[in-house]
């Protein structure tokens, strides 16, 4: 029997949460500030509080059957965080699903936030084979194949931001050199623009301002985005040869601020990928927007609820 479920999207600044009815419609949504510097205990408390809030809006006679949570960082199928999440202190090693289930008594499933966003984009399109690339402070990735998220060993699949696009290139925080994140993330865009304009002392410039200037025709700003697009296309080209998706979806804050970057990646991909696979792959802008994580978490919770029902 289909039931009410919850989807939560944990970010560095806020936790978004939604209650979904049996037809999959969000009937109530709320948001809590994330105590990112307070450690895992405070973050868990925030999640539990949000779930309690959602539970109060479940109609009489119904119950909240399952909770899905999207989180930054690497997370395995057991719901344990592996590797640090750069925007949440002390998150590594947290047994997220166990902690939430123990506190709420509700079955819980958790996954990487970009993976769940990819699931939302795929289901919105009715597409079973999809690669999501999220451009922002970092470069995130999520792969959907056969209609399911490909998480890989210990949840480490889809990390396209750490594909090496410049051998022996700039050092990345992950320990490698030349990762695409170092050439197309927010910091890289700002650094490239300063280099092009010789405005190294312009400490207040941000991606939003560079995007505004590019949209107004600033040649240096356009060049900075074009350079980033080429590097992203190179990383996507490598991925196409492995997963061969039907569609590559480009999302994230940078794509929202500067939509032409999607077309630039599409064009650049022609010279950075296996032609036969490229000819069968569309490149599109994300359509679900900043609710993709919470919607994807709700889909994961619904699938969990249905599996439990089928097994009972």
Please give the domain boundaries of the chain with CATH numbers for all domains: 4-117+290-311 (3.30.420.40), 127-287 (3.30.420.40)
Secondary structure of residue 138 in the 3-state scheme:
coil
Walk along the chain (312 residues) and give the pLDDT tens digit of each residue.
569 999 999 998 999 999 999 999 999 999 999 998 999 999 999 999 999 999 999 999 999 999 999 999 889 989 999 877 777 889 999 999 999 999 999 999 999 999 999 999 999 999 999 999 999 989 999 999 999 999 998 888 999 999 999 999 999 988 999 999 999 999 999 999 999 998 665 668 999 999 999 999 999 999 999 999 999 999 999 999 999 999 999 999 999 999 999 999 999 999 999 999 999 999 999 999 889 999 999 999 999 999 988 887
CA–chain centroid gap for 38, Å, is 23
pTM over 0.75: yes
CB under 8 A, 24+ apart: contacts of 57-62: 57/19, 57/27, 57/28, 58/4, 58/19, 59/4, 62/3, 62/4
The dihedral of CA 112, 153, 158, 150: what is its sign? negative
Secondary structure of residue 67 in the 3-state scheme:
strand
- Closest to 133 in 3D by CA, of 119, 109, 114, 111: 114
Residue with the two structure tokens 């929202």: 256
Name the strands in the sheet holding 107-112, side by side, starting at the edge strand that comes first in the sequence.
Answer: 26-33, 14-20, 4-10, 64-71, 107-112
Residue with the two structure tokens 């039931």: 3
Strand 247-251 with 130-135, pairing: parallel
């Amino acid at each position: 029997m289909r039931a009410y479920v919850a989807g939560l999207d944990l970010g560095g600044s806020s936790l978004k949460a939604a209650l979904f009815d049996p037809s999959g419609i969000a009937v109530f949504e709320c948001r809590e500030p994330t105590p990112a510097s307070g450690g895992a205990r405070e973050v868990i408390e925030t999640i539990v509080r949000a779930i309690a809030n959602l539970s109060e809006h479940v109609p009489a006679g119904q119950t909240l059957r399952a909770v899905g949570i999207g989180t930054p960082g690497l997370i395995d199928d057991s719901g344990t965080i592996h590797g640090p999440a750069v925007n949440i202190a002390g998150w590594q090693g947290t047994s997220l699903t166990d902690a939430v289930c123990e506190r709420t008594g509700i079955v819980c499933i958790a996954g990487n936030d970009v993976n769940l966003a990819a699931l939302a984009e795929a289901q919105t399109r009715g597409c079973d084979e999809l690669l999501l690339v999220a451009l922002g402070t970092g470069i995130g990735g999520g792969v959907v194949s056969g209609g399911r998220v490909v998480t890989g060993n210990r949840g480490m699949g889809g990390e396209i931001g750490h594909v090496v696009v410049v051998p022996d290139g700039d050092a990345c925080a992950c320990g490698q050199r030349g990762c695409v994140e170092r050439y197309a993330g927010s910091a890289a865009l700002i650094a490239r623009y300063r280099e092009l304009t010789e405005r190294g002392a312009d400490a207040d410039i941000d991606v939003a301002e560079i995007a505004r200037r590019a949209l107004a025709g600033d040649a240096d700003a356009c060049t900075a985005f074009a350079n980033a697009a080429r590097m992203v296309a190179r990383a996507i080209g490598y991925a196409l040869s492995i997963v061969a998706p039907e569609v590559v979806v480009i999302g994230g804050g940078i794509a929202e601020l500067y939509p032409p970057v999607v077309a630039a990646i599409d064009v650049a991909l022609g010279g950075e990928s296996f032609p036969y696979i490229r000819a069968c792959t569309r490149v599109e802008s994300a359509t679900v927007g900043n609710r993709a994580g919470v919607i994807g978490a709700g889909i994961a919770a619904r699938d969990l609820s249905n599996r439990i029902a089928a097994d009972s």
